[in-house]
Amino acid sequence: QQQVKQSPQSLIVQKGGISIINCAYENTAFDYFPWYQQFPGKGPALLIAIRPDVSEKKEGRFTISFNKSAKQFSLHIMDSQPGDSATYFCAASKGYSTLTFGKGTMLLVSP
Amino acid sequence: DAMVIQNPRYQVTQFGKPVTLSCSQTLNHNVMYWYQQKSSQAPKLLFHYYDKDFNNEADTPDNFQSRRPNTSFCFLDIRSPGLGDAAMYLCATSRDRGAGTEAFFGQGTRLTVV
């Protein structure tokens, strides 16, 4: 019930392409869905987050799409750049609970 | 500028020798967390403090302990490190608990057990 499943495990995208990372969850009580970005040797940092009352949130080149009925959400990175190369974690939480993280996706954007 | 500071960045300890990792924050946040992150895996929450209230995760081994002497500092004590405890240890803070509260992570301490 607490698990968040993330795919793919790794992704290679050409510069300028669209990177898409998917997550699925089981617990319908989850009400907060953030994405964290982690560069090598650094701690994760919040990238963008969404609540289930909206289906999409966009911040610059980063968009979260949320499908409540399918219990899925995804991160889209438009015009992917080499500087976007990092590991991306989706996460979910409910109420006063702590974050449950997905296993991460290692993104490499080739020049 | 660093808001969540972990020391040291790299720690090598001997098998079975107690080790302490430290975390400090300048954000004055109520909540401090300790995560364990092994290679290519998600961060795994070990425990967190909500102010002085300690909250242990059910599957955190007894070998791991924590102290929070004041708002700014939090320590992770590993009483008898085993080879399986080699990992990146991440400290994080948040203003409050609950959905929508952003967690701020430190750079982590990479622990090697020899």
pLDDT digits 0-9 by tens, A53-63: 999 999 999 99
d(CA B79, CA A12): 41
Q: Tell whether A21 is within 8 A of chain B (Cβ).
A: no
**Pairwise CB contact (< 8 Å): B48 & A98:** yes
pLDDT at A3: 87
Query: Are the C-beta atoms of A92 and A32 separated by less than 8 Å?
Result: yes
For chain B, give the percent of residues with pLDDT over 90.
86
Which of B4, B99, B108 is nearest residue A93 as measured by Cβ atoms?
B99
- Tell me the CA end-to-end span of chain B in Å, nearest whole number: 34
For chain A, give the percent of residues with pLDDT over 90.
81
Which of B41, B103, B107 is nearest residue A41 as measured by Cβ atoms?
B107
**Predicted confidence band at B100 (pLDDT cuts at 50, 70, 90)?**
confident
pLDDT of residue B1 exceeding 90, the answer is no
d(CA B36, CA B60): 10
d(CA B71, CA B60): 23
**Predicted confidence band at A10 (pLDDT cuts at 50, 70, 90)?**
very high
What length is written for chain A?
111
- When pLDDT is averaged across residues A75-90 and rounded to a whole number, the result is 97
Q: Tell whether B103 is within 8 A of chain A (Cβ).
A: yes
DSSP state of B68: -
Q: Which has the minimum average pLDDT: A19-23, A87-91, B42-46?
A: B42-46
Contacts of A53 by beta carbon, 8 Å cutoff, 6+ apart: none
d(CA B4, CA B91): 8
- Give the distance between the most distant pair of CA atoms in chain B: 40
Neighbours of A20 (CB within 10 A): 17
B87: helix, strand or coil: strand
Give φ, ψ of B79 to 5 degrees. -70, -40
